[in-house]
């Protein structure tokens, strides 16, 4: 698994280098902007050199990744990462077609047909960009959909236990089927850049609606919070004052815990937002903490609950008297780099 993460990292790094080269060349006075009609032969030949560098970088990435890839994990199509990489990341047909485009641009330059050469340049740049994005999306598919996909089963079970019907479940199921179909046909850019992004947005919106229903039930004695935890010891000192509203608020006069990102979760690029329900006592201490909306990763959910147990609040109040009340707190686990 470690080698697979290295492989995917190489894809990201290589394409970032290619993009930087292309951006450098585009900005250079010796090279025209992609949409420019004013162009000279030296500029076009300089662009051709940059495009060739991009092509060789992609060919190098394609060759290196299978060599460092280990394991034979398959997805629901019965395919491996190596199968998709070989079939859809700069395959033989693509390489031959791109080679013909290079030959056509070179021929146009040799014939002093600058307009045709410029059109070929723009088409080649776009083609190489798409190939690079396709290779990255293959890596993203295997990383985010196959190897380390979120597990929503515990969250959905919690909803059912609390008689909450998951919002947009049918829409999400439809998008999941679409994503699988796109992967089956090698359409990884559509699957990752389109369907997966849309599915995540629909899920997030649905979870906000789930959250509203769960909040209304969270203080009931028969409520079942996900990964519910109670403190092992009582906290001290108690809050010196109360919140100005019924709901608790953070007590910034007391030290607050630091969120710990589980190392294995970080290595597996697990990330997301957890919404916690916290039953805050009149003392400002958390009596019970549980997950209301899951990140899809148990490690992150449990780390968020552990973190919240040490939070200190100004307790909610009613008629000037401190009361036990629910606080809803989001906890974000965000990866800062690929």
Element (H, E) at 318: strand 316-318
> Same domain, yes or no, for 136 and 28?
yes
What is the pLDDT at residue 25?
Answer: 47
Give 128-176 pLDDT, tens digit per residue. Answer: 999 999 999 999 999 889 988 999 999 999 999 999 999 999 999 999 9
Give 10-49 pLDDT, tens digit per residue. Answer: 455 445 444 544 454 444 444 555 555 578 999 999 999 9
Question: Three-class SS of residue 185?
Answer: coil
What is the pLDDT at residue 83?
Answer: 92
Phi–psi pair at 179, nearest 5 degrees = -60, -45
The closest of 164, 169, 168, 152 to 215, measured between CA atoms, is: 164
Strand-pairing partners, residue 250, are 313
> Same domain, yes or no, for 16 and 98?
yes
On whether the CB atoms of residues 50 and 32 are closer than 8 A, the answer is: no
Q: What is the pLDDT along the chain (338 residues), one digit of tens a residue?
A: 444 444 455 455 445 444 544 454 444 444 555 555 578 999 999 999 999 999 999 999 888 876 555 557 899 999 999 999 999 999 999 999 999 999 999 999 999 999 999 999 999 999 999 999 999 999 999 988 998 899 999 999 999 999 999 999 999 999 999 999 999 999 999 999 999 999 999 999 999 999 999 999 999 999 999 999 998 777 777 777 888 889 999 998 888 899 999 999 999 889 999 999 999 999 999 999 999 999 999 999 999 999 999 999 999 999 889 999 999 999 999 987 44
Per the structure, the count of domains in the chain is 3
> Same domain, yes or no, for 259 and 283?
yes
Sign of the Cα pseudo-torsion (14, 17, 21, 23, in order): positive
Phi–psi pair at 318, nearest 5 degrees = -140, 120
Task: Single out the residue in 90, 114, 147 at which a domain terminates.
Answer: 147
> Same domain, yes or no, for 39 and 74?
yes
> Same domain, yes or no, for 116 and 249?
no
> Same domain, yes or no, for 206 and 231?
no
Task: Single out the residue in 147, 171, 188 at which a domain terminates.
Answer: 147
> Same domain, yes or no, for 116 and 34?
yes
What is the pLDDT at residue 73?
Answer: 85
> Same domain, yes or no, for 240 and 258?
yes
> Same domain, yes or no, for 162 and 135?
no
> Same domain, yes or no, for 140 and 200?
no
Task: Kindly state whether residue 338 falls inside one of the protein's structural domains.
Answer: no
> Same domain, yes or no, for 31 and 141?
yes
Task: Single out the residue in 147, 162, 197 at which a domain terminates.
Answer: 147
What is the pLDDT at residue 66?
Answer: 66
What is the pLDDT at residue 21?
Answer: 47
The alpha carbon of residue 288 and the mean position of all alpha carbons in its chain are separated, in whole angstroms, by 30
Distance in angstroms (rounded) separating the CA atoms of residues 254 and 158: 33
The closest of 243, 268, 273, 281 to 334, measured between CA atoms, is: 273
Strand-pairing partners, residue 222, are none
Element (H, E) at 217: helix 197-217
What is the pLDDT at residue 37?
Answer: 56
Task: Kindly state whether residue 71 falls inside one of the protein's structural domains.
Answer: yes
> Same domain, yes or no, for 11 and 129?
yes
Domain carrying residue 259: 219-333
Task: Kindly state whether residue 103 falls inside one of the protein's structural domains.
Answer: yes
Task: Kindly state whether residue 308 falls inside one of the protein's structural domains.
Answer: yes
Task: Kindly state whether residue 238 falls inside one of the protein's structural domains.
Answer: yes
Q: Mind giving me the DSSP string for 122-168?
A: HHHHHHHHHHHHHHHHHHHIIIIIIIT----HHHHHHHHHTT-PPTT
């Amino acid at each position: 698994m470690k080698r697979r993460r290295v492989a995917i990292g190489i894809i990201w790094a290589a394409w970032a280098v290619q993009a930087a080269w292309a951006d450098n060349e585009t900005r250079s006075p010796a090279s025209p902007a992609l949409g420019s009609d004013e162009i000279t032969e030296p500029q076009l030949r300089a662009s051709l050199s940059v495009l060739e560098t991009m092509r060789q970088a992609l060919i190098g990435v394609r060759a290196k990744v299978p060599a460092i890839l280990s394991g034979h994990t398959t997805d629901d199509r019965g395919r491996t990462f190596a199968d998709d990489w070989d079939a859809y990341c700069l395959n033989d047909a693509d390489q031959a077609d791109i080679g013909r485009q290079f030959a056509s641009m070179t021929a146009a330059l040799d014939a002093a047909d600058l307009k045709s050469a410029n059109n070929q340049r723009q088409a080649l740049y776009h083609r190489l960009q798409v190939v690079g994005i396709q290779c990255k999306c293959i890596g993203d598919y295997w990383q985010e959909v196959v190897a380390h996909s979120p597990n929503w089963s515990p969250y959905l079970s919690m909803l059912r236990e609390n008689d909450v019907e998951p919002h947009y479940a049918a829409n999400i199921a439809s998008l999941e089927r679409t994503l699988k179909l796109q992967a089956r046909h090698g359409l990884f850019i559509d699957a990752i850049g389109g369907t997966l992004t849309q599915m995540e947005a629909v899920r997030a919106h649905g979870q906000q609606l789930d959250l509203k229903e769960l909040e209304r039930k969270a203080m009931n004695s028969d409520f079942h919070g996900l990964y519910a935890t109670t403190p092992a010891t009582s906290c001290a000192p108690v809050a010196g004052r109360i919140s100005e509203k019924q709901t608790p608020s953070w007590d910034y006069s007391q030290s607050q815990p630091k969120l710990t990102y589980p190392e294995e979760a970080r290595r597996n690029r697990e990330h997301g937002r957890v919404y916690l329900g916290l039953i805050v006592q009149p003392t400002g201490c958390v009596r019970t903490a549980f997950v209301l909306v899951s990140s899809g990763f148990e490690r992150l959910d449990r780390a968020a609950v552990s973190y919240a147990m040490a939070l200190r609040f100004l307790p909610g109040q009613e008629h000037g008297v401190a009361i036990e009340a629910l606080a809803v707190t989001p906890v974000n686990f965000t990866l800062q780099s690929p």
